[in-house]
Structure 1
Amino acid sequence: MGLKAPFSTSFGTIHYRDFFIIEAIDRDGLSGWGESVAFDAPWYSEETVVTNEHVMIDFLIPLLRQGPISHPDDLGERFSAIRRNNMAKAAIEGAIWDLYAKQQGLPLSEALGGSKKQIEVGISLGIQKDVETLLDQIGAALDEGYRRIKIKIKPGWDVDVLRRVREVFPDIPLMADANSAYTLKEMDHLKQLDHFDLLMIEQPLAHDDIIQHARLQRELKTPICLDESIHSFGDAKNAVELGSCQIINIKIGRVGGLTVAKRIHDFCQAHDIPVWCGGMLEAGVGRAHNIAITTLPQFTLPGDTSASARYWDKDIITPEVTVHDGLIQVPKKPGIGYEVDQEALEFYTVDVLSFEL
């Protein structure tokens, strides 16, 4: 699927997104839907579209053939022999969670234990060609009602940019996402971010670090939020205990699925750590899963699940995800609450593989 506009971070610029859409069909003909979030190159994590296909076909689907499961939570143990590859696991698990919720006649949000009827959302703005373009985009997002603005930063596109943003928008909820672009050698530079009244700085240091983030958090007034460093419940627990962050970004694909995402949420709730749902430039199925998990109570900060039309000329679900006054209404229908648009899905599809369990 081609993005309406290129999306740039410290990693690089994305023009197109490749997805696997997983359909799990039971004996009664009910379908559950999941979506992969890996990119075509291993710059966010070690996973890619190609490795997801390999792991799902050669390892995860054969594990499903070992016997029936009674609940989606059982997949964690079933898949435990396969290390990491969380995005591949989450793609399959998401389809089974959706199917399970439909079998129970429940919205996926309620099957997960969520209770919100609507969720607050913010927007993520990539690195732009100049600051004036960024300011125009912020103004447009605020006019659309988004309740938090996230700006991607990197060395050379950070302090001066944020200073200018604050001159024009002194009071908006604002955060910065570094995508691991800095090191502790730049601590004095990062301390300047404390001047801009940010909600948080997301993942300033290495993608696999929690130790140095703890040292940096002791020096910063601005809360650090960890993203790429959190791949498991154990990672979240260690980060909180070490003081590596004050906020955690939960991405379903990054942590291995909805079951693990819920477990991290529950731990953070018990330890008074705010969480929010990050985005991976999802299509409609992945966006629907994000909406469902965000209905859990400790998701107290606006997430990145913006409207379908912001990214796609045509999404693969109907109705598409819409945002009004910074809010998304949580669907009430069983499962993810949206129908897959078969015509749109067929238009984008390049190949189909089927497996009998």
Structure 2
Amino acid sequence: MVASTIKEIRLHRLSIPLKNSFLTHLQSVQERESIVLEMVEETGSIGLGECIAFSSPWYTEETVQTCWDALENWLVPSILNQQMTHPSTFLNLMKHVKGNRMAKAAIDLAAWDLFSKRKNVPLWQGIGGVRKEIDAGIVLTGAINESMYEQVERAMQTGYKRVKLKIDETTDPKALENLIRFYPSILFFGDANGLFSKLGLNALQSFDHVGLTLIEQPFGEDEWALHHQASRRMKTPIALDESIRSVADVERMIEAKAGKIIVLKPGRVGGISEAIQIHDLAVQHRIPVWIGGMIELGISKAHNLALASLSQMTLPGDFSASNYFWHEDIVNPTIDVINGTITLSEKPGIGYDIDSKNIKKFRIDFRVLT
């Protein structure tokens, strides 16, 4: 394929209120900051990427501000006016910058969108996807009370295939078991976000027989020995999320027998290029994978949907409709869930365009780098 030259990068810093607060034992999120990146090649074609870091370092060490600085000062200058024959071109050009995976992911995602558009194929087909219909799943937070039952009921009526519940210190295993038994047709995931580093392995084991399909990230991201113990002692599969930051982390998970399922977040591992390598490694070792969410906007979700079409993505990911978190998303068309699934676009690239009106409405900073 003929190389193209990247002539311009546009960075949009956004701040968008959520419809409802997103609560975990780590943090409460009422407003989501994000960075949207437009990669413009010499023909005028545009690739779209999104940085999924949060405003403060409660989830990862990267923040919106550190990513903005890294993009503006080091990463974007390394790719401007450079030729791209494949998205991996830019990975090599950015190697001199240590870490900063979330910032690099914004560039990698945009490069894959642009690359697919140049090839005139949908991204999901271009990376070898095998399914066009993606099962949808939502994340619920809060106490297991009447309101929770109502939320699960609405999810079931909408057709969602899976409900993920955030586990906190007040979560009663028996109440959770009763909820799961009341809705036997829906898969239930439990997400601990490292809570059991504080509560201990015995507390984790009290959730082993409640009927969860899996328990996500019970211990801290580097607590491999504890995850090994949990995987060995428990019948409920352990899925690693925050621990998976690279291919090397997956290799360590396999070697340490620290988990049985991978939660893959492309925006955290450095983009689609690294995510594909992780998927291929999971295929070799027959490890189930599913795509995790980060309260992302439509651009990142569109990339995630493309990855969810790959063969080893055997469990429903964090895929809700645009109107689940947002009054207004930033993509056209919006992402919609119909009968519990999201249909992938046949358009080249990710299949979605920027909603210019909403970008301007929620934008708090803007840069054009040439």
TM-score range, shorter chain: over 0.9
* Other structure's SS at 1:19 match: strand
Please say if residues 214 and 243 of structure 1, whose CA atoms lie closer than 8 Å, have aligned partners that are also in contact: yes
Describe how 1:71-82 pairs up with structure 2 within 5 A.
71-82=86-97
**Aligned residue in 2 for 1:98:** 113
1:17 alignment counterpart: 32
Question: Is 2:308 the counterpart of 1:279?
Answer: no
Question: Among 318, 340, 345, which residue is 2:332 paired with?
Answer: 318
- Give the CA deviation at 1:287: 1.1
- 1:58 Cα shift? 1.4
1:242-261 map, 5 Å: 242-261=256-275
Report deviation, 1:46: 0.3
Per the alignment, do residues 285 and 299 of structure 1 end up closer, same or farther by CA in structure 2, a change over 3 Å counting?
same
Conserved 8 A contact 2:196-2:203: no
SS in 2 for 1:80: coil
1:225 matched residue in structure 2: 239
Q: Indicate conservation of the 8 Å contact 2:174/2:210, yes or no.
A: no
Query: C-alpha displacement at 1:158, in angstroms?
Result: 4.3
Letter of the aligned partner of 1:327 in structure 2? T
Larger deviation, residues 133-142 vs 204-213: 204-213
Give the AA of the match of 1:68.
Answer: Q
**2: CA distance, partners of 1:232 / 1:289:** 18
Contact conserved, 1:22 with 1:34, CA < 8 A, in 2? yes
Which residue, 291, 303, 318 being the options, matches 2:317?
303
Report the identity percentage: 38
Following superposition, the deviation at residue 351 of structure 1 comes to 2.1
For residues 279-329 of structure 1, give each alpha carbon's deviation from its aligned partner in whole angstroms, at most 9, with x where no partner exists.
111111111111111111100100001100111111111110001121100
Please state how far the C-alpha of 1:116 moved relative to its aligned partner. Answer: 1.3
Q: How far does residue 170 in structure 1 lie from its aligned partner after superposition?
A: 4.1
Give the secondary-structure state (helix, strand or coil) at the position aligned to 1:196. coil
Is residue 263 from structure 1 mapped to residue 277 from structure 2 by the alignment?
A: yes
The counterpart of 1:34, out of the listed 20, 32, 49, is 49
Distance 1:355 1:227 in 2: 34
Asked if structure 1 preserves the Cα contact closer than 8 Å seen for 2:177 and 2:211, the reply is no
RMSD: 1.5
Q: Which residue of 2 aligns with 1:45?
A: 60
The alignment partner of 1:299 has SS state of: coil
Q: Are 2:260 and 1:235 equivalent residues in the alignment?
A: no
CA distance in 2, matches of 1:184, 1:311: 30
Alpha-carbon distance in structure 2 between the residues aligned to 1:172 and 1:283: 25
| Unmatched runs of 5 consecutive residues or more in structure 1 | none
Q: Which consecutive residues of structure 2, in runs of 5 or more, have no partner in the other structure? A: 1-15
C-alpha distance in 2, partners of 1:2/1:76?
A: 33
1:184, distance to aligned residue in structure 2 (A): 7.8
Distance 1:66 1:354, change over 3 A: closer
Q: Aligned partners of 1:45, 1:83: CA distance in 2, in Å?
A: 15
Alignment CA distance shift 1:158-1:175 (3 Å): farther
SS in 1 for 2:243: coil
Match of 1:140 in 2: 154
Secondary structure of the 2:190 match is: strand
Superposed counterparts of 1:194-213, under 5 Å:
194-213=208-227
**Aligned equivalents of 2:175 and 2:90: distance in 1?**
45
Corresponding letter in the other structure for 2:305: I
Matching residue of 2:167 = 153
- Does residue 1:330 correspond to 2:344, yes or no? yes
Structure 1 outlier segments of 4+, above 4 Å: none
Alignment of 1:162-173 (within 5 A): 162-173=176-187
> Could you tell me the TM-score, scaled by structure 1's length?
0.96
Q: Which has the higher strand share?
A: 2
Instruction: Verify: 1:89 aligned to 2:104, yes or no.
Output: yes
Partner amino acid, structure 2, of 1:273: I
Distance across 2 between alignment mates of 1:59 and 1:255: 19
Pick from 50, 55, 70: which aligns with 2:70? 55
SS at match of 1:351: strand
Matched, 1:127 2:142: yes
Between the aligned partners of 1:267 and 1:317, the Cα distance in structure 2 is 32
| Cα distance, 1:228 vs structure 2 | 0.3
Change (3 A) 1:178 1:87: same
- The answer on whether the counterparts of 1:154 and 1:182 sit within 8 Å (CA) in structure 2 is no
User: How far apart are the structure 1 equivalents of 2:163 and 2:125?
Assistant: 28
